[in-house]
């Protein structure tokens, strides 16, 4: 499933990430879900959605981190 807009993202993403980080998450997720549809491109037996979530969070963590209060802020 591809996310068309930020409003389509899971609440667990929308409610914790700033809007720019949501955009990063959405784009990375959509790219990964397309990339890993082919089972030969997966390292394990995880489904494409599981892999896409990992990729999306990793993309967010390149630009954002959690501060002392647990809020996601730009690095």
Instruction: Kindly list the structural domains of the chain, giving each domain's residue range(s) and its CATH number in brackets, ordered by start.
Output: 12-74 (1.10.1740.70)
CA distances to 35, 62, 67, 75 from 26, in Å:
14, 14, 22, 19
Beta bridge partners of 47: none
Q: Tens of pLDDT along 21-67?
A: 999 999 999 999 999 888 888 878 889 999 999 999 999 999 999 99
Amino acid 42: pLDDT: 80
**Looking at residue 72, what is its pLDDT?**
98
E strand spans, the chain: 64-66, 72-74
């Amino acid at each position: 499933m591809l996310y068309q807009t930020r409003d389509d993202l899971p609440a667990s993403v929308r409610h914790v990430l700033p809007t720019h980080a949501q955009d990063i998450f959405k784009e990375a997720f959509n790219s990964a879900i397309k990339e890993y549809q082919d089972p030969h491109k997966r390292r394990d037996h995880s489904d494409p959605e599981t892999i896409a979530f990992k990729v999306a969070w990793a993309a967010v963590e390149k630009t954002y981190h959690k501060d002392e209060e647990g809020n996601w802020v730009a690095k």
